[in-house]
Amino acid sequence: MQKPVAVQNDPFTQRVMSDVDPDLLVLIQTKINTFLKWDIVKFFGENPGTLDHAGQIAVYIGRDAGAVQAELDILAAEGILQRNERAAPAVYALAKDAAIRALVQKFLRACNDRDFRVKAVYHVMRGAPQH
């Protein structure tokens, strides 16, 4: 697993993230770094047998299909999802890799804890592009 992305050395950031599992911290900082990706990963984690196209996934999670398509492609490129282009349109599924599936489940279990969610939200927002 990668090392966590360097965070500012301000005391608040250090305190907020000091007790987060390092694997989950890397996951949040590098792969589940938008709320839309979080929704997509949550959907596939809760429905690990799902194989569907972007338009239908967008319906399931209540998001814009174009935005979902872009994030699905990123998550597939990062190995969290797999993309099957034999179908038209392409369909997506949770990666078959046992380590990825275990990490996704670990993330979803951690999300049941309010303190973890607050920390994860903080990190996603901190990493969000400034407009």
What the chain holds in terms of domains, given with CATH numbers, is 11-127 (1.10.10.10)
Query: Listing from the earlier edge strand, what are the strands of the sheet with 52-53?
Result: 52-53, 91-94, 81-84
- How much is the pLDDT for 113? 93
Any bridge partners for residue 83, and if so which? 92
Question: Which among 122, 131, 119, 120 has a CA at the least distance from the CA of 41?
Answer: 120
* pTM reported for the whole predicted model: 0.84
Any bridge partners for residue 94, and if so which? 81
Alpha-helix residue ranges (DSSP H) falling in the chain:
11-17, 22-30, 35-46, 54-61, 65-77, 98-110, 114-127
From first to last of the 131 residues of the chain, give the pLDDT tens digit: 454 554 455 566 666 666 788 899 899 989 999 999 999 999 999 999 999 999 999 999 999 999 999 999 999 999 999 999 887 889 999 999 999 999 999 999 999 999 999 989 988 888 755 44
Q: Name the token pair of 103.
A: 């990490």
